[in-house]
Amino acid sequence: MAIFKGAGVAIVTPFHEDGSINYEKFEELVEEQIAGGTDAIIVCGTTGEASTLTHEEHLDLIRFCAEKVKGRIPVIAGTGSNCTDTAVYLSTEAEKYGVDGLLVVTPYYNKATQNGLFLHYKKIADAVKLPIILYNVPSRTGCNILPQTVVRLCTEVSNIVGIKEASGNISQVVKLMSLAQGKIDLYSGNDDQVVPLLSMGGLGVISVVSNVAPKQVHDMCRLFFDGDVAGSAREQMRLIELSDALFSEVNPIPVKTAMNLMGKNVGPLHMPLSEMEPKNVETLKRAMKNYGIL
Give whole-number Cα distances, 142 to 35, 86, 106, 118, 154, in Å.
Answer: 37, 19, 9, 16, 22
Give the C-alpha separation, 34 to 3, whole Å.
Answer: 16
Indicate if 129 belongs to the active site. no
- Evaluate whether residue 105 is within a structural domain: yes
Looking at residue 226, what is its pLDDT? 98
Cβ neighbours of residue 82 closer than 8 Å, sequence gap 6 or more: 107, 108, 109, 110
**Cα-based torsion angle of the residue sequence 150, 154, 157, 163 in order, rounded to the nearest 10 degrees:** 70
- Evaluate whether residue 254 is within a structural domain: no
Averaged pLDDT score across all residues of the chain: 97
Looking at residue 1, what is its pLDDT? 79
Mean pLDDT of 204-223: 98
Residue 56 main-chain phi, psi, to 5 deg:
-65, -45
User: Is 90 exceeded by the pLDDT of residue 10?
Assistant: yes
Looking at residue 77, what is its pLDDT? 98
The CATH number that applies at residue 207 is 3.20.20.70
Structural domains counted in the chain? 1
- Evaluate whether residue 190 is within a structural domain: yes
Inter-axis angle of helices 147-156 and 170-180, nearest 10: 30
Looking at residue 261, what is its pLDDT? 98
- Evaluate whether residue 283 is within a structural domain: no
Active-site residue identified among 5, 25, 164, 256 = 164
User: Is 90 exceeded by the pLDDT of residue 242?
Assistant: yes
pLDDT bucket at 26, cuts 50 / 70 / 90: very high
- Evaluate whether residue 228 is within a structural domain: no
First-residue to last-residue Cα distance in the chain: 38
Cβ atoms of 198 and 5 closer than 8 Å: no
- Percent of the chain past pLDDT 70, that is, above it, reads 100
Return the closest-CA partner of residue 251 out of 166, 194, 143, 187: 166
- pLDDT tens digits, residue range 27-40? 999 999 999 999 99
Task: Count the neighbouring beta carbons within 10 Å of the beta carbon of residue 235.
Answer: 19
Active-site residue identified among 25, 68, 121, 135 = 135
Indicate if 285 belongs to the active site. no
- pLDDT tens digits, residue range 48-72? 999 999 999 999 999 999 999 999 9
- Evaluate whether residue 1 is within a structural domain: no
pLDDT bucket at 94, cuts 50 / 70 / 90: very high
Residue 118 main-chain phi, psi, to 5 deg:
-60, -45
Which residues constitute the domain of residue 208? Answer: 6-214
- Evaluate whether residue 51 is within a structural domain: yes
Mean pLDDT of 86-97: 98
- Evaluate whether residue 142 is within a structural domain: yes
Give whole-number Cα distances, 193 to 166, 167, 187, 202, 266, in Å.
Answer: 9, 11, 10, 11, 27
- pLDDT tens digits, residue range 143-173? 999 999 999 999 999 999 999 999 999 999 9
This prediction has a pTM of 0.97
